[in-house]
């Protein structure tokens, strides 16, 4: 099945992991697919559940997806806008990029956001503490060549068509409120900023929030799957063992091309953590027996509560 690439780029995008996530997401689809950290939306958009809740604290991503869903932003409107703005960029270069960035930080216009996302340095999505988009220019004045514009338009088209066939809700809300809404029939896919790595996507992410997320997912009646990182060339994610080690996991190596520096663009072993036994497959699967899980959950819950307090 061909993977749909969403029109937004962001660090940690799971495009290449969609087949693995689809294979591991053992769910009867009777409830709601829930994403507390929607980001680019690539996973849910490809699994295409009939009913879904896509939530994020970033109002700009949610606003863009809502505009595409309601057809306030159409593929033809995207083409016209990017062709016109691309021509300005080709003529005025860096000066025009920063003009659009200033304009967006005042108005929050979704088409400006899409333009910046595709013209900024290396596809990084980053905001300052005041909520302003602050990624520098990629220094490619001819960024919006005809073929590139068509590629983005096709991505918007594919997403728009899928949205018209589903019951998807897009909401600006915290991960805690989103997880709290889940029932036993639902499935939660959580892809938070990676602790120790992606800390400036829209709002900060740290050890306390990681522990809080563990506490919430440990208690949810829904099935959940968490995306996180296990290790790279330089270090290992100690939270995967110390906090999430009570749950089954599946690992797969993945290479990131998106990052603010060369050191962030390298091979990474990704981990999918879940509160159910994953389907059997060749890649490494660590499964802990239910009695072990219960004991470890009790221990980790004490740790998580203490960390939050």
Kind and range of the H or E element at 224?
strand 223-232
* Mean pLDDT of successive 10-residue stretches along the chain, which has 309 residues: 89 88 93 97 96 97 98 98 98 98 98 98 89 95 97 98 97 98 98 71 78 97 94 82 92 63 64 90 46 50 49
What contacts 304, CB < 8 A, 6 or more positions away? 211, 212, 214, 215, 218, 243
Is the domain spanning 15-57+174-308 CATH 3.40.50.1820? The answer is: no
pLDDT of the residue at 83: 98
Determine the Cα–Cα distance for residues 282 and 284; give it in Å rounded to an integer: 6
> Which two three-digit tokens encode residue 2?
């061909």
pLDDT of the residue at 10: 87
**Bridge partners (DSSP) listed for residue 250:** 272, 285
Residue of 1, 47, 6, 34 lying closest to 186 (CA atoms)? 34
Q: Domain ranges in the chain? A: 15-57+174-308, 71-161
> Which two three-digit tokens encode residue 142?
């001819």
Query: For the chain, what's the residue count?
Result: 309
Q: Where are the beta strands (DSSP E) in 247-302?
A: 249-255, 267-274, 285-286
**Bridge partners (DSSP) listed for residue 51:** 167
* CATH homologous superfamily, domain 71-161: Adenine-specific Methyltransferase, Domain 2 (1.10.1020.10)
Q: Do domains 15-57+174-308 and 71-161 have the same CATH topology?
A: no
Residue of 225, 223, 226, 228 lying closest to 182 (CA atoms)? 223
> Which two three-digit tokens encode residue 204?
């900060």
pLDDT of the residue at 289: 41
pLDDT of the residue at 42: 97
Q: What is the pTM of this model?
A: 0.86
């Amino acid at each position: 099945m061909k993977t749909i690439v969403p029109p937004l780029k962001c660090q940690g995008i799971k495009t290449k992991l969609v087949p693995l996530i689809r294979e591991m997401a053992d769910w009867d689809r009777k409830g709601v697919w829930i994403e507390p950290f929607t980001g680019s939306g690539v996973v849910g958009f490809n699994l295409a559940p009939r009913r879904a809740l896509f939530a994020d604290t970033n109002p700009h991503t949610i606003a863009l997806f809502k505009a595409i869903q309601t057809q306030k932003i159409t593929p033809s409107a995207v083409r016209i806008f990017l062709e016109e703005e691309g021509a300005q960029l080709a003529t005025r270069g860096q000066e025009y990029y920063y003009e659009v960035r200033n304009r967006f930080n005042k108005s929050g216009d979704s088409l400006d956001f899409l333009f910046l996302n595709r013209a900024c340095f290396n596809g990084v999505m980053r905001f300052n503490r005041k909520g302003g988009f602050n990624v520098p220019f990629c220094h490619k004045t001819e960024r919006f060549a005809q073929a590139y514009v068509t590629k983005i338009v096709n991505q918007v088209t594919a997403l728009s068509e899928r949205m018209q066939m589903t019951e998807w809700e897009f909401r600006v809300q915290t991960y805690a409120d989103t997880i709290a809404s889940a029932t036993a029939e639902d499935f939660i896919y959580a892809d938070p900023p990676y602790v120790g790595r992606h800390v400036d996507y829209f709002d900060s992410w740290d050890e306390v929030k990681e522990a809080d997320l563990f506490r919430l997912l440990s208690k949810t009646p829904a099935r959940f799957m968490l995306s996180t990182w296990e290790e790279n060339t330089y270090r290992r994610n100690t939270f995967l063992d110390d906090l999430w080690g009570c749950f089954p996991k599946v690992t797969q190596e993945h290479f990131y091309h998106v990052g603010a520096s060369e050191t962030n663009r390298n091979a990474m072993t990704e981990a999918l953590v879940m509160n159910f036994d994953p389907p059997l497959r060749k890649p490494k699967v660590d499964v802990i027996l239910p009695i072990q899980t219960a004991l470890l959950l009790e221990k980790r819950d004490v740790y998580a509560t203490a960390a939050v307090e």
